[in-house]
Amino acid sequence: MNLGLEGKSALVCAASRGFGKAVALQLAGAGARVAMCARGEEDLLLAAAEVRTAGKTAPGGADAAVMTRALDVTDSPAVAQFVEDVQGTWGSIDLLLINAGGPPAGNFADLDLAQWEAAYRLTLESAVRMSQLVLPGMMNRGWGRIVQITSVSVLQPVENLLLSSVIRPAAHALIRNLALEAAPRGVTVNSVAPGFHLTSAIERLITKKMEMTGGTRQEVLDAWSADIPAGRLGEPEELANLILFLMSEGAGYITGQCIVADGGWVKGTF
């Protein structure tokens, strides 16, 4: 299948590890130019070197064009400057991955107001900011793809993840409404909802669960896997495959959706 991403310019948030890095690698392999941002500069530069090399698997067979910037997506001026620099260098941003990791674990009694406000800034406000900076240009050019990484907590509450279960549905509501506005101008806007995948964020949850239960890492993994019909946790590359398709030319009639990748964990209807 021709993805139609050669020469497209992508901005990938939280790109130093996990889902963001996996998507950046896939985009480079499809021939896209990739702008990567993340908080940790050392990890970001290491990931960028891999992404640059991944371009050799694209039809042109050359290193991918890569830009990097160490920043926090809650830092409005830094985000705006990076977007401006990418657009100034490459002329446009055609593909946007909204990704900021998840707010910390905790139940209601564990969380203070400052943590609620920080979760809002990380999960919802950052998505609004990125969309404000990138979506108008896509609409003016008549083509673009925005994908937001959210969580199955959009569809079903997850134990000990209250902040995610409350704020992420609002972030997807943003996506649904942007899709309505952008569709007539050739731009699709979607969310993907991963379940349990082997990322650094999941490793933190595993540690939290071990502290709560006194179990070992393997016991926590076995307990989670037992509740997943696929019988295992996912790999970041599996979600990246889905995102790559949603960003492709062939996905132009899919918009406003929240597509689940969870091995069958969510049992409800939606």
CATH value at residue 175: 3.40.50.720
Give per-residue pLDDT as tens, 57-84.
888 888 999 999 999 999 999 999 999 9
Residues 41 and 108 in one domain: yes
Domain of residue 214, residue span = 196-233
Residue 54 has pLDDT above 60, yes or no: yes
Over range 242-253, report the average pLDDT. 97
Residue 270 lies inside a defined structural domain of this protein: no
Mean pLDDT confidence for 98-105: 88
pLDDT given at position 102: 82
Which tokens go with 179?
């899709």
- Distance in angstroms (rounded) separating the CA atoms of residues 18 and 90: 26
Q: How far apart are CA 78 and CA 150, in angstroms?
A: 23
Query: Residue 129 falls within a domain, yes or no?
Result: yes
Neighbour count for residue 240 (Cβ, 10 Å): 23
Residues 59 and 142 in one domain: yes
- The Cα 150–Cα 161 span in angstroms is 13
Tell me the Ramachandran region of residue 81: left when phi exceeds 0, alpha when psi lies from -120 to 50, beta otherwise. Answer: alpha
203 with 86, same domain? no
Q: pTM for the complete prediction?
A: 0.93
Q: How far is CA 146 from CA 143, 192, 203, 248, 263, in A?
A: 10, 11, 27, 11, 24
Q: Do 110 and 35 reside in the same domain of the chain?
A: yes
Whether residue 215 sits in one domain with residue 176 = no
> Domain total for the chain?
2
